[in-house]
């Protein structure tokens, strides 16, 4: 018979959502909290199994782990060590949202993907899923095996059917807890999460909020993309905020490379004039370059690189109201290696195109379709309003 061990983290989804509530200002999200919890548990599992042979291990969904052992006593010892590791993270490291509930049984586990098919595994999962934090249950026929272990104490459960479930007193179990390194489990988290984090934005407003937060903290920004559509309030507010940062945050350097659709007359002209003015007014910390794309050409995706460590990639969909693709969602990657690759690509493109000079500016202006004196006057007025707010 195989020893079946199930680990369930109680309230994992709700707890992460509650902890992340109103924490957007520092970029804390439920996904980030869950990823931290999963990281810690996987580290604790890796340390705990250094002395014990786990024949099978699966992470099922976000909050369930399945383990199998050939030897029952080995499975119990592993469970006791793992609970002590997790207890250390809670009591010593302050990770109070980690609430493990565990159950151990024997049987012949069968599963399809993440679904258990046999009665013993299902019963073990249900016991862990309905258990209380830091409880270790032993079920059914496995109770007799546990009773034979002199180093282990069992406690009956009043609300359980007689002989079907008992509680293992893991805190008094005589198990060697000298698992090298487990007291340092939390030390790797800052590198893992701060250097390898992924945040997905489901809407333009959410994406812009993430961009704005990164811009407010950054000292170096490389931005690639098309003209900001000023006819949409959310984008206009974002542009005002960005210009305010350029004007007042003197320690931050901006480098902007834009593609300019020749058939979007108002947006393209307003954007190139605004960026050109910024590059003149703040030449020591704002550089601008641009190239044109004709009507019908596939548009490159937009991205920004913050401090050489974070990349925000805008994802597009076609807007029937504007008749052009606009940002519909986004992915932000916090990874230095990925950011470095994007930055190298950005700088190579900038090198080939060159910083915008008067000759390049005049060539672009002459090729913008439908540009007339009225559009120029209205666009320049918009530029003045944004710069002087």
Of the candidates 344, 356, 39, 62, which has an alpha carbon nearest to the alpha carbon of residue 189?
39
Number of domains forming the structure of the chain: 2
Pair 99, 214 in one domain: no
| pLDDT reported for residue 364 | 93
DSSP three-state, residue 374: helix
| pLDDT reported for residue 228 | 87
Pair 219, 176 in one domain: no
| pLDDT reported for residue 191 | 39
Pair 101, 227 in one domain: no
Pair 20, 144 in one domain: yes
Extended strands (E) in the chain: 2-9, 56-60, 64-69, 100-107, 111-112, 115-116, 135-139, 154-156, 165-168, 197-201, 220-225, 253-261, 286-293, 302-306, 310-319, 324-334
Distance of alpha carbon 6 from alpha carbon 103, whole angstroms: 5
Domain final position from 135, 164, 190: 190
CATH number at 72 reads 3.30.70.1230
Pair 43, 165 in one domain: yes
Give per-residue pLDDT as tens, 280-289: 999 999 999 9
Pair 217, 149 in one domain: no
Pair 71, 137 in one domain: yes
CATH number at 213 reads 3.30.870.10
Pair 210, 186 in one domain: no
Pair 134, 80 in one domain: yes
Range of the domain at 33: 2-190
Domain final position from 190, 212, 241: 190
Distance of alpha carbon 143 from alpha carbon 212, whole angstroms: 57
Domain final position from 164, 190, 216: 190
pTM: 0.52
| Token pair for 307 | 């401090």
Pair 18, 167 in one domain: yes
pLDDT tens, per residue, the chain with 389 residues: 899 999 999 888 787 788 878 887 777 777 777 878 888 888 888 888 888 889 998 888 778 999 999 999 999 999 999 999 899 888 877 888 889 999 999 999 887 766 788 899 999 999 999 899 999 999 988 999 999 999 999 988 766 554 588 999 998 888 877 654 444 444 444 434 444 567 777 777 888 888 888 898 899 999 999 998 887 788 888 899 999 999 999 999 999 999 999 988 999 999 999 999 999 999 999 999 999 998 777 778 899 999 998 999 988 765 555 555 566 788 888 888 889 999 999 999 999 999 888 899 999 999 999 999 999 999 999 999 999 87
| pLDDT reported for residue 320 | 54
| pLDDT reported for residue 23 | 82
Pair 102, 205 in one domain: no
What number of CA atoms fall less than 13 Å from residue 129's CA on the CB side?
11
| Token pair for 118 | 């046999």
CA distances to 23, 99, 225, 252, 317 from 322, rounded to whole Å, are: 34, 49, 17, 33, 11
The answer to whether the beta carbons of residues 238 and 314 sit under 8 Å apart is no
| pLDDT reported for residue 175 | 81
Pair 227, 349 in one domain: yes
């Amino acid at each position: 018979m195989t020893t079946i061990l199930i680990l369930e983290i109680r309230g994992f989804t709700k707890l992460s959502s509650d902890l992340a509530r109103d924490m957007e200002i520092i970029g804390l999200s439920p996904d980030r909290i869950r990823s931290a919890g999963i990281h810690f548990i996987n580290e604790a599992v890796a340390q705990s199994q250094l002395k014990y042979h786990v024949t099978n291990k699966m992470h099922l969904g976000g909050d369930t782990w399945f383990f199998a052992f050939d030897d029952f006593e080995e499975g119990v010892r592993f469970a006791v060590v793992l609970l002590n590791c997790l207890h250390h993270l809670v009591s010593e490291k302050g990770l109070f949202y980690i609430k493990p509930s565990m159950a151990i049984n024997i049987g012949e586990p069968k599963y399809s993907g993440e679904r258990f098919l046999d009665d013993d595994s299902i019963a073990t999962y249900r016991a862990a899923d309905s258990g209380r934090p830091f409880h270790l249950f032993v079920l059914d026929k496995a109770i007799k095996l546990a009773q034979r272990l002199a180093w282990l104490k069992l406690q009956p459960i009043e609300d359980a059917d007689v002989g079907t479930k008992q509680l293992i007193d893991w805190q008094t179990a005589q198990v060697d807890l000298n698992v090298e390194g487990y007291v340092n489990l939390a030390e790797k988290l800052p590198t893992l999460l701060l250097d390898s984090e992924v945040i997905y934005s489901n809407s333009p407003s959410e994406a812009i909020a993430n961009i704005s937060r990164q811009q407010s903290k950054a000292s170096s920004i490389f931005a690639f993309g098309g003209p900001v559509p000023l006819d949409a309030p959310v984008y206009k507010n974002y542009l005002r905020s960005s210009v305010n940062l350029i004007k007042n945050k003197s320690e931050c350097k901006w480098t902007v490379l834009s593609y300019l659709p020749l058939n979007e007359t108002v947006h393209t002209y307003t954007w190139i004039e605004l960026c050109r003015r910024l590059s003149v007014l703040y030449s020591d910390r704002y550089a601008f370059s641009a190239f044109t794309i004709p009507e019908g050409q596939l548009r490159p995706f937009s991205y920004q690189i913050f401090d050489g460590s974070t990349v925000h990639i805008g994802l597009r969909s076609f807007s029937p109201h504007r008749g052009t693709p606009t940002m519909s969602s986004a992915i932000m990657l916090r990874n230095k290696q990925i950011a470095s690759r994007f930055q190298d690509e950005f700088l190579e493109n900038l090198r080939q195109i060159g910083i915008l000079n008067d000759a390049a500016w005049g060539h672009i202006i002459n090729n913008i379709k439908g540009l007339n004196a009225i559009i120029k006057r209205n666009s320049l007025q918009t530029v003045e309003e944004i710069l002087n707010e």
